[in-house]
Structure 1
Amino acid sequence: MRRSRLVLFLSSLFLTAATALTGAATAQASQLAAAGGYVALGDSYSSGVGAGSYDSASGDCKRSTKAFPRLWATANAPSSFNFTACSGARTGDVLANQLAPLSSATTLVSVTIGGNDAGFADVMTTCVLQSDSACISRINTARAYIDSTLPGKLDSVYSAIRSKAPNARVVVLGYPRFYQLGTTCLGMSETKRKAINDGSDHLNTAIARRVAAHGFVWGDVRPTFTGHEICSGNSWLHSVNWLSIGDSYHPTAAGQSGGYLPVLNSND
């Protein structure tokens, strides 16, 4: 009996210590990242489209004060913060318009990119307005592009980031699954929902491979969004919004703070 109690006590002590060390390590990582400059690159998932509260100075880029890069910067007070992510950005836009703030003093870079190159908006438009077969066909076209062309475009972006920010920790965040399956959901068949989710998984897998090849950090947001997909009853993603069509299939403010920010926090 005494031995059992001792084992339980030591196990509890070990778990407490491990939790404390993990928390300390995460805090230390954030402090190290904040000691230098933070640059947030990417597309609408980084700029915060769908979260509202847009900075008027950002114009069509729609950079939100509720986007995860802004939330991280507010919480960690890096020595400098440059937010160049822009709605609609493709890999070429990152290369042409977003990399100027990077330097040897940059210690943290975050980026979401690749969805627009793969034709995200056209895929979703096709799936919303057309048949199951048309939706699947358009997704298959996107998958072929992801396999053949996107890796090289991602390589160009990642190589440029490393060249301009040689000392930075680079966190590449992915995209959520959009739909909860096996539920009643008006407006989109189960066939379409599954095909869209599978397409998102395919994109994430392709991005993760190139991230690993460059020695960057992969930030998978699918676990944090689980239970908060469209049709879940507690969605952190906008469904089709005919009044503000650009918000469709983008994270809400809760998706930015609850879906994306924790992943950056755990990988910064």
Structure 2
Amino acid sequence: MIRSSRRGVGPLATIVLTATTFAAAAPPAAMAQDNEAPASYVALGDSYASGPLIVPQEAVPSCFRSGNNYPHLVARELGITGFDDVTCNGASSTDLTDPQHTKLGGTVPAQYGTLDKDTELVTVTIGGNDVGLVDLALSCLDLPLAPRPTPSCVPTTGTGPDRFDQAIDRMGPIYNHVAHQLLLILETR
């Protein structure tokens, strides 16, 4: 979790970066002490956050965003009234700063464009598409039907690099870059 004192732009901004393999959001310590929920929350991210195929789906061009994804659950649990969910299936870290051209032909605005001076809580769930985790996982789907496991699905213990570990290790620099971008954006708004 990264906390930033946004000079001249409002109260404490909290950024929660989550990996595509797990997600958690918690109110910052300052809010937990006085039980005051953030007034505004923006959820940024990819399909891990958007919740494709979880009903109900929102009417967003090819983003496959659920009204019951984890950002919606966090907003409801914390009683946040100012909530913007701009998560989108297939998003990568470049789609935070640039418009996303979705796989079904739609275009959605850059996700950072939703942040403003009143944003108090931001969750970011991004990175799996940047490093190919979805494609890597999909390459394992035929494993039960294959006569032998495909090389990309076999755990490697001393016989070479583990592709899943390598992909996850490549996410570290992406998270660092995203965290620094967010802090700069929130400090200047």
Band of TM-score, shorter chain? 0.5 to 0.7
Distance of 1:104 and 1:48 partners within structure 2: 27
Which whole-Å CA distance do the structure 2 matches of 1:52 and 1:62 have between them? 10
Aligned residue for 1:186?
Answer: none
Q: TM-score, normalised by structure 1?
A: 0.45
**2:95 maps to which residue?**
93
Q: 1:26 to 1:49 in 2, by over 3 A?
A: farther
TM-aligned CA deviation for residue 83 of structure 1 = 0.8
Q: Work out the number of aligned pairs and report it.
A: 140
> What residue in structure 2 maps to residue 155 of structure 1?
176
* Structure with a larger share of its residues in strand: 2
- Higher normalized helix content (fraction of residues): 1
Q: How far off its partner does 1:127 sit?
A: 1.0
State TM-score, norm by structure 2: 0.62
Q: CA RMSD in A?
A: 2.9
Post-superposition Cα deviations, 1:33-90, rounded to whole Å, max 9, x if no partner, equal 423x10001111211113121111x121111111121223234443521111111111
What is the Cα deviation at residue 99 of structure 1? Answer: 0.7
Please say which structure displays the higher CA radius of gyration: 1
Say whether the 8 Å CA contact 1:46–1:112 is kept in structure 2.
yes
Letter in 2 for 1:135: C
- Provide structure 2 residue ranges, at least 5 long, that are not aligned to the other structure: 1-28, 99-109, 144-148
Contact 1:88-1:116 within 8 A present in 2 as well:
yes
Q: Say if 1:61 and 1:87, in contact at 8 Å, map to a contact too.
A: yes
Structure 2 counterpart of 1:34, one-letter code? P
Greater relative contact order (Cα 8 A, min sep 6): structure 1 or 2?
A: 2
CA distance in 1, matches of 2:61, 2:90: 12
Is the CA contact 1:30–1:76 (under 8 Å) kept in the aligned structure 2? no
Query: Residue 110 of structure 1 is aligned with which of 119, 123, 146?
Result: 123
Q: 1:73: which partner in 2?
A: 75
Provide the identity percentage.
31
Which residue identity does 2:43 align to in structure 1? A
Question: Partner residue of 2:134?
Answer: 121
Q: Is the 8 A contact 2:117 2:186 kept in 1?
A: yes
- Alpha carbons 1:40, 1:85 under 8 Å: kept: yes
Conservation of the 8 A alpha-carbon contact between 1:42 and 1:111: yes
Is 1:143–2:156 an aligned residue pair? no
